[in-house]
Structure 1
Amino acid sequence: MDTRTRTAAAALTLLAALGATGCGLVDLDAAGSSTSSASVSAAPAELSELTVAPEDTGAPYDRDDWPHWTYLGDGCDTRDRTLKDQGENVEVGNDCDLSGTWRSVYDGETVTDPSDLDVDHFVPLAEVARSGSREWSEAEREAYANDPDVLVAVTAGSNRSKGDQDPASWLPERDRCGYVTRWVSIKQRYELTVDRAEAEAIRGVLRHCR
């Protein structure tokens, strides 16, 4: 079993466990962030291990081919779980109706209405499709699309601004070191490629990180 398949299998196992246990996610912002200085320091080496290749623009992409928001029980799916885990003072009502406070890690905005939030795939699904996932099975696509480590609650506006762009075209307003470090980590875990402009943009950010 190769690394990507093991990662996908582990993600699917984790999704099943989430229904009972929950899982906290990484916050990009410095307050309470688990993006350690060691992780940032290791990012250039991890980046150098990624295959640099042109984007596979011929790979077909249909969002419906990436099953997401897997049901976890008690009226909640993986989107709800992300909001629950990444918010503060979150209360869960009937049918997983959520209330609480969220800080969007891309732009630092505080949100109290969950309908104002998007749950973003950190490395967007379309970007994954262009970066070496052409041969993934539906189970592997579902595992990625629901992996807690690639989901982040952000304002709808910041998510729309990002779209499916990689760091060569878009970076968040806050914690760019943490952002590119996590981007590289996800691409490494899923054995995805980076294009040359993307790699250079990430290196440019990392040169200013400590």
Structure 2
Amino acid sequence: MRFSILIMFVTLFVIDASNAETWRGLEVAPENRCSPFDRKSQYPYPQSVEDEIVRSMGGKVYGPYTGRYFKTDSETDIEHIVSVSEGHDSGLCKATPEVRIAFATDPLNLTLAAPNVNRCGAGGKCGYDGGEWLPERNKCWFSHSVVAVRKKYGLTIDRAEATSLEEVMSNCSSFEMVFEDIHTEQMDFAASGASNPLERYDTNNNGKITCAEARSHGITPVKRGHPAYEFMYDRDGDGIVCE
């Protein structure tokens, strides 16, 4: 099976008339930093783009990578789907200042993410490309967005990323962003007749809910928005406990 999948991927890489290898209309080439990179001076963007991102998601302050909702955008980072360093090394190192700014502020390439997801650290995106990092949620939307952004700005893609994204996209039925339903679990809890989460889930009555207790009630993994979440310890702050 693995061998057949590899054959399928190989056939998707083609050589065009210019003798360049392509995948889904993108030139396949190694990353190349053809000029020095400085994020702040070469790829500036105003904080106001965060408000534009929220409006594009129907007013929801939502992190599509994890399916997490936030109270305000002060809790989130502006996230470039194709990072500015990745864009620089994929062709923007030769671009004009105007094109670089357009890339950094383009709504097509912008979303929201919790700081621990956006930045460097355990599990963080940290400027990685789709061959090095994929989100836990919305993989189809993410992969399609990467291709769309790279096409718009004439960027190349390396073979490892193309292979990783193809493995995702070849199994997608839709490329739309999926919004997690945070209301279902709240309604289920209300229907149980319990007046508070501790009454229902805190079996040993110690004022907190453990993963063992949550599993015994069949509610794991517990996501932010579930009534039990506030009484549990989210060690990595990703909005999900007892994964």
For normalisation by structure 1, the TM-score amounts to 0.65
Name the structure 1 match of 2:117: 158
* Equivalences for residues 96-107 of structure 1 within 5 A: 101-107=60-66
What is the deviation of 1:87?
A: 5.6
Q: 2:51 aligns with which of 57, 80, 96?
A: 80
SS at match of 2:164: helix
State how far apart, in whole Å, the 2-side matches of 1:83 and 1:115 are: 12
Which residue type is aligned with residue 192 of structure 1?
L
Which residue type is aligned with residue 57 of structure 2?
Q
Q: Which runs of 5+ in 1 are unaligned?
A: 1-43, 70-75, 89-100
For each residue in 1:92-120, what CA deviation from the matched residue of structure 2 results, as whole angstroms up to 9, or x when unmatched? xxxxxxxxx52210101111032210111
State how far apart, in whole Å, the 2-side matches of 1:143 and 1:151 are: 12
What is the deviation of 1:78?
A: 2.2
* Equivalences for residues 35-46 of structure 1 within 5 A: none
Name the structure 2 match of 1:180: 143
Which residue type is aligned with residue 97 of structure 2?
E
State how far apart, in whole Å, the 2-side matches of 1:174 and 1:127 are: 21
Task: Confirm or deny: 8 A CA contact 1:52 1:193 kept in the other structure.
Answer: yes
Name the structure 1 match of 2:31: 55
State how far apart, in whole Å, the 1-side matches of 2:151 and 2:108 are: 13
SS at match of 1:134: helix
Task: Confirm or deny: 8 A CA contact 1:47 1:184 kept in the other structure.
Answer: no
Q: Which has the higher contact order (CA 8 A, sep 6+)?
A: 1
* Equivalences for residues 20-39 of structure 1 within 5 A: none
Q: Which runs of 5+ in 2 are unaligned?
A: 1-12, 15-21, 174-243
What is the deviation of 1:58?
A: 4.7
Displacement over 6 Å in runs of 4+: none
> Which one has a larger percent helix, Structure 1 or Structure 2?
1
State how far apart, in whole Å, the 2-side matches of 1:78 and 1:207 are: 32
Q: 2:106 aligns with which of 131, 134, 147?
A: 147
Distance 1:111 1:118, change over 3 A: same
Q: 1:127 aligns with which of 79, 86, 104?
A: 86
Name the structure 2 match of 1:197: 160
SS at match of 1:178: helix
Query: How large is the RMSD of aligned CA atoms in angstroms?
Result: 2.3
SS at match of 1:152: strand
Name the structure 2 match of 1:67: 44
* Equivalences for residues 100-119 of structure 1 within 5 A: 101-119=60-78
SS at match of 2:24: helix
Task: Confirm or deny: 8 A CA contact 1:150 1:186 kept in the other structure.
Answer: yes
State how far apart, in whole Å, the 2-side matches of 1:146 and 1:57 are: 21
Identity %: 32
Which residue type is aligned with residue 177 of structure 1?
C
Which residue type is aligned with residue 45 of structure 2?
H
Which residue type is aligned with residue 176 of structure 1?
K
Bigger-Rg structure (1/2) = 2
Number of residues paired by the alignment? 150
